[in-house]
Structure 1
Amino acid sequence: MKKFLFDLFPVIVFFVVFNYAEKNVELSQQWVSHYIGFLISDGKVPKEVAPVLLATSVSILASLGQLLWLLGTRQKIDGMFMLSLGIIGVFGGLTIYFHNETFIKWKPTILYWCFGVSMAISQFLFKKNAIRSMMEKEISLPDQVWNRLGLAWMGFFVTLGVLNLLVAFNVQTSTWVSFKTFGMPVLMFVFIIAQSFYLSPYLEPENGGKDGK
């Protein structure tokens, strides 16, 4: 749960800042112009995108803060975190520079598709199932079940990426922000619950699944 909240922290920050900025557009426009105006291509901050620019910049800072905290506490920095940091840095930076919210709307899709593609490359090219690597110390499953789980997660990440685009470019930005903050985690939770039901026949109650066939 702690890791889940840690990973979700920049998203929550984006949601909070965006909603505040949307209710105080002129103030957010002033802040963006004053603090990050030098990062914008023409130095101009259109009022309609000021909330997104402010939320994006604070979200990037939140992600960098996480990195500094991990380094300061000498905790392991996993590849997924660095991938997420890189993507928000690139797409967030493009959003700010071009003062165009299209880039930040693509960010979740690119992230989820990168997860799916990396899992596919690992499973099919290097014959290493990412889900098995993470879970096999806890449960023992037949090879075909591990393969199905890997495929299911790949499909799930691809689907999340598509859903993000459908919502991002067909509804108001505020609705997309809410979907990104709450809808996607809920979908993730539902998927994990469904996965638990699928795995239940393979788990032995008396040993937690270590000897499951």
Structure 2
Amino acid sequence: MKFLFDIFPLLIFFGSYKYAGSHEEAAQAFINTHLSSFISGGAVTASQAPIIIATVVGIVATLLQIGYLLVRRQKVDGALWVSMAVFVVFGGLTIYFHDDDFIKWKPTVIYWSFATAMLVAYRFFDKNLIKAAMEKQVSLPEHVWVRLHFAWITFWLVLGFVNLFVAFVLFKADNSAWVNFKVFGVTGLMLLFFIAQAFYLSKHIKDEA
């Protein structure tokens, strides 16, 4: 359930994009009627409408996600605050300029923000964020924690570059393909990384036994 909650804005973004893409003229009419004051020039084309609708819905979903946690007095992870801030800024630019380049940069900015935070925490505050998150569940030698920490930093950096390649090179003129990659491709890459991490950890846990 937590996994579904964590990816709730992503699923909403995906679903609203696909729905609006199947009803471009209706989506265009809705935006030009109700959101024109938030858009440069006051109107969008039918082809621009799906990504605008998805961005608006995604921002609202992220705000609701955080609001739900605050109302229930649960901790809001720093990563979620970062995601919200980046989504609002880059999503807002996407909506105002009706330019999908901004929203395509959003995942990369988030991934690189994670990598930067982890690197700064380690270099300047001597804090291993991966160890802090996982040490209650598993005991590992210190050198393994360090390797794992930098593996995550590398993963976020690479994932950011992959997103840029897919968005601006591989599928430069195909927003639908980029949205599919954002949902399924990134999720698949993260799953592979989790599996690789599990194999690596199991090896060292056995060594410690």
Task: Specify the TM-score bucket, using the shorter chain as the normaliser.
Answer: over 0.9
Q: 1:65-104 maps to which residues of 2 (within 5 A)?
A: 65-104=64-103
- TM-score, length basis structure 1: 0.93
Distance across 1 between alignment mates of 2:24 and 2:33? 14
Which stretches in structure 1 are left out of the alignment for 5+ residues?
Answer: none
CA-based RMSD: 1.3
Query: Are positions 1:196 and 2:198 aligned together?
Result: yes
- State the one-letter code of the partner of 1:28: A
CA contact (8 A) 2:115 2:153 kept: yes
Residue 197 of structure 2 aligns to which amino acid in structure 1? Answer: Q
Aligned to 1:13: 12
Aligned-pair CA distance for 1:35: 2.2
Q: Which residue of 2 aligns with 1:127?
A: 126
Give the distance between the partners of 1:86 and 1:3, measured in 2 at CA: 21
Name the structure 2 match of 1:187: 189
Aligned to 2:141: 142
Letter in 1 for 2:80: F
Question: How far, CA to CA, are the matches of 2:70 and 2:128 in structure 1?
Answer: 29
Quick one: which amino acid aligns to residue 16 of structure 2? V
The superposition leaves residues 69-124 of structure 1 with CA deviations (integer Å, 9 ceiling, x where unpaired) of 11221111111111100000000000001010000000000000000010011111
Name whichever of 90-99 and 45-54 sits farther off: 45-54
Equivalents in 2 of 1:80, 1:58: separation in Å?
20
Q: Which runs of 5+ in 2 are unaligned?
A: none
* Aligned pairs (5 A) from 1:28-47: 28-47=27-46
Code of the residue aligned with 1:99 in structure 2: it is H
Query: Could you tell me how far 1:3 is from its partner in structure 2?
Result: 2.6
AA at the equivalent of 1:8? I
Contact 2:94 2:100 in 1 (8 A): yes
Contact 2:31 2:43 in 1 (8 A): no
AA aligned to 1:78 is D
**TM-score for the superposition, normalised by structure 2:** 0.95
CA distance in 1, matches of 2:67, 2:190: 27
Measured in 2, the distance between the counterparts of 1:122 and 1:67 equals 24
Amino acid corresponding to residue 190 of structure 1 in structure 2: L
State the percentage of identical aligned residues: 47
How far apart, in 1, do the equivalents of 2:29 and 2:53 lie? Answer: 10
Q: How many positions carry a matched residue from both structures?
A: 206
Structure 1 CA distance, aligned partners of 2:26 and 2:76?
A: 36
For 1:201, the aligned partner's letter is K
User: In 1, Cα distance between the equivalents of 2:149 and 2:3?
Assistant: 20
Local SS of the residue matching 1:85: helix
Q: Give me the whole-angstrom Cα distance separating, in 2, the residues matched to 1:5 and 1:117.
A: 26
